[in-house]
């Protein structure tokens, strides 16, 4: 074996005898091949994890949209309250959000081909309450029944109780 190879072997801590050095070189080559295979496997696994994260984000976004659309459809929230409602769901959970945003709290009119499209929603709660009462009175209900219906749909009678 040449003196240069022996000096390199000694400097790197490898055996200096030719057969032992050759065996060690082969072992190191096998380890390097394993490292390449492991690096490829790691890259594949990383790509799969990123793909799953992307899919989870898409599914979470769909679920968020579905939940917000449903909350609007049942009168739990107005379309302008979507961000607030979702933040409260994230903070307090669904049950906590449902206690704050009761179903039917916001008037929801069903629109079909037989009905005219609803006019622009009233600007505040008092106008909404009065509009509900007017509609109930126009439908032939008594003032008491109209008041009760408006209170149920609006989630309030607009009176604040003081202790």
Structure tokens at 104: 């039917």
Tracing tokens 């984000």 back to the chain, one arrives at 57
Region of 78 (left: φ > 0; alpha: ψ -120 to 50; beta: rest) is beta
Distances (CA, A) of 86 to 53, 76, 82, 144, 159: 21, 12, 6, 36, 28
Query: Which tokens go with 37?
Result: 């295979």
Same domain for 68 and 2 = yes
Per-residue pLDDT in tens (0 to 9) along the chain, 163 residues: 567 777 777 777 776 676 776 777 788 888 988 999 999 999 999 999 999 999 999 999 999 999 899 898 899 998 899 999 999 999 999 899 988 888 888 887 655 445 444 444 555 667 777 788 888 888 888 888 888 888 887 766 665 544 4
Indicate the number of domains in the chain. Answer: 3
Predicted local distance difference test score (pLDDT) of residue 117: 43
Task: Residue 91: give the domain boundaries.
Answer: 74-104
Q: What is the pLDDT of residue 2?
A: 67
pTM summary value: 0.45
Cβ neighbours of residue 134 closer than 8 Å, sequence gap 6 or more: none
Contact 89, 67 (CB under 8 A): yes
Structure tokens at 132: 């509900």
Q: How many residues does the chain have?
A: 163
Residues 4 and 34 in one domain: yes
Instruction: For the chain, give the longest Cα–Cα distance.
Output: 112
- Do 5 and 63 fall into the same domain? yes
119 and 139 co-located in one domain: yes
Q: Domain check: are 100 and 134 in the same one? A: no
């Amino acid at each position: 074996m040449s003196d240069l190879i022996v000096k390199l072997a000694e400097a790197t801590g490898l055996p200096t005898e030719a057969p032992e050095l050759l065996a060690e070189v082969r072992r190191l080559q096998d380890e390097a091949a394993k490292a390449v295979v492991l690096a490829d496997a790691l890259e594949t696994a990383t790509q799969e994890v990123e793909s799953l994260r992307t899919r989870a984000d898409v599914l979470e976004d769909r679920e968020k949209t579905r939940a917000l659309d449903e909350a609007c459809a049942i009168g739990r929230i107005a379309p302008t309250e979507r961000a607030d409602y979702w933040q409260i769901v994230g903070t307090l959970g669904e049950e906590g959000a449902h206690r704050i945003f009761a179903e039917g709290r916001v008037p929801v009119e069903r629109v079909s081909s037989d009905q005219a499209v609803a006019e622009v929603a009233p600007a505040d709660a008092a106008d909404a309450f009065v509009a509900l009462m007017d509609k109930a009175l126009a439908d032939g209900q008594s003032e008491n029944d109209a008041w009760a219906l408006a209170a149920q749909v609006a989630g309030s009678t607009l009176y604040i109780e003081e202790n």
